[in-house]
């Protein structure tokens, strides 16, 4: 990325981190995904139970393998060979995890985390259930306000439909355009907005990364 452009985005990301801290998340800015990964792994105590939302960002961090191979009890929704009902059962168990790892679809400049979800496990887990929530997001997720956040959800949903086999037949996959479908493969079933992070002190950590990661 052009250096001036990057400097602008980094400044904005740091401003948003300040806002997030004022809104009672534990927020931190880091330059790289590797630094974010170290913070995540340093934060989760050995022996903890861990659940994870579906996330390109976490995949780019190789977080599934890190947790799978670490000294944790992983509610592994990604385990090869799981049927969908089995996967859903893992979602249910993960609702009581010590840590829930996820990204977010949009972060508004005034500190709201906005997400779209198919089964609702990520939306639910961010709001209540797991004792701690750790959010890792690239600075490309920052948007001005709630309207832009909702626009962003509609823009990225077709990409996620293309990425996820259960949603490959959604009508937006070949066109890249949302038609508010009603097909079985619809991905856009739940939208959550986290307004602030302070209801349970220390529950929310947000790591904002100065890289373009995830969708
Ligand atoms: S509502 Fe349907 S068409 Fe629109 S993005 Fe979601 S899955 Fe695609």
Q: How many other C-beta atoms are found inside a 10 Å radius of the C-beta of residue 26?
A: 18
Q: Looking at per-residue confidence, does 168 or 103 come out higher?
A: 103
In this prediction, residue 165 carries a pLDDT of: 84
Q: Residue 69: inside a domain, yes or no? A: yes
Alpha-carbon gap, residue 67 to 69, rounded angstroms? 5
Instruction: List pLDDT tens digits, range 60-106.
Output: 999 999 999 999 999 999 999 999 999 999 999 999 999 999 999 99
Q: Residue 173: inside a domain, yes or no? A: no
Region at 214 (left for phi over 0; alpha for psi -120 to 50; beta for the rest): left
Indicate if ligand 1 lies below 6 Å from the C-beta of 116: no
What average pLDDT does this structure show over 158-165?
A: 91
Q: Residue 193: inside a domain, yes or no? A: yes
Calculate the average pLDDT of the chain. 96
Q: Residue 183: inside a domain, yes or no? A: no
Q: Residue 215: inside a domain, yes or no? A: no
Q: To test the ligand 1 pocket, which listed residue (171, 184, 185) has its Cβ within 8 A of the most ligand atoms?
A: 171
- Residue 208 predicted with pLDDT over 90: yes
Q: pTM score, two decimals?
A: 0.96
- Residue 1 predicted with pLDDT over 80: no
Q: Residue 73: inside a domain, yes or no? A: yes
- The CATH number for 61's domain is 3.40.50.10420
Q: Whose CA is nearest to atom 6 of ligand 1?
A: 188
The vertex-20 CA angle with 18 and 24, nearest 5°, equals 115
Alpha-carbon gap, residue 211 to 87, rounded angstroms? 31
- Residue 24 structural domain: 3-143+189-209
Q: Which residue has the tokens 């630094």?
A: 35
**Per DSSP, which regions of the chain are E strands?**
26-30, 49-52, 73-74, 99-102, 106-108, 113-117, 132-138, 142-143, 190-194, 204-209
In this prediction, residue 47 carries a pLDDT of: 98
Q: pLDDT band for position 110 (50/70/90)? A: very high
Percent of the chain predicted with pLDDT > 70: 100
Alpha-carbon gap, residue 122 to 94, rounded angstroms? 10
Alpha-carbon gap, residue 187 to 210, rounded angstroms? 28
Alpha-carbon gap, residue 144 to 78, rounded angstroms? 33
* Ligand 1 centroid distance, CA of 172 (Å): 6
Per DSSP, helices labelled H in 143-185 are 146-163, 172-175
Which is the closest atom of ligand 1 to the Cα of 185?
7
In this prediction, residue 2 carries a pLDDT of: 86
Alpha-carbon gap, residue 112 to 70, rounded angstroms? 31
Task: Give residues with Cβ within 8 angstroms of 167, minimum separation 6.
Answer: 118, 160, 161, 173, 185, 186, 187
In this prediction, residue 166 carries a pLDDT of: 85
95-117 CB burial, b ≥16 within 10 A, e <16: eebbbbbbbbbbbbeebbbbbbb
Q: In this structure, what DSSP letter does residue 165 have?
A: G
Indicate if ligand 1 lies below 6 Å from the C-beta of 181: yes
Q: Residue 176: inside a domain, yes or no? A: no
What average pLDDT does this structure show over 46-72?
A: 97
Q: Residue 168: inside a domain, yes or no? A: no
Q: Which of 47, 56, 16 is nearest to 207 (CA)?
A: 16
Q: How many domains does the chain have?
A: 1
């Amino acid at each position: 990325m052009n250096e001036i452009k990057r400097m602008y985005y980094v400044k904005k990301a740091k401003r948003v981190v300040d806002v997030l801290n004022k809104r009672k998340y534990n927020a931190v800015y880091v330059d790289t995904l590797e630094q974010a990964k170290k913070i995540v792994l340093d934060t989760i105590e050995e022996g903890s139970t861990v659940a994870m939302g579906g996330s390109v960002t976490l995949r780019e961090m190789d977080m599934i393998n890190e947790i799978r191979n670490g000294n944790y009890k992983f509610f592994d929704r990604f385990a090869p060979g799981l049927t969908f009902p089995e996967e859903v059962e893992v979602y249910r168990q993960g609702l009581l995890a010590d840590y829930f790892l996820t990204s977010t679809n949009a972060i508004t400049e005034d500190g709201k985390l906005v997400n779209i979800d198919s089964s609702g496990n990520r939306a639910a887990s961010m709001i209540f259930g797991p004792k701690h929530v750790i959010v890792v997001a690239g600075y490309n997720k920052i948007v001005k306000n709630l309207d832009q956040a909702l626009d962003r959800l509609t823009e990225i949903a077709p990409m996620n439909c293309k990425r996820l086999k259960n949603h490959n037949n959604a009508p937006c996959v070949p066109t890249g355009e949302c038609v508010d479908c009603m097909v079985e493969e619809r991905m856009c079933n739940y939208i959550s907005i986290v307004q602030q992070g302070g209801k349970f002190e220390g529950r929310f950590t947000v790591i904002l990364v100065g890289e373009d990661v995830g969708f």
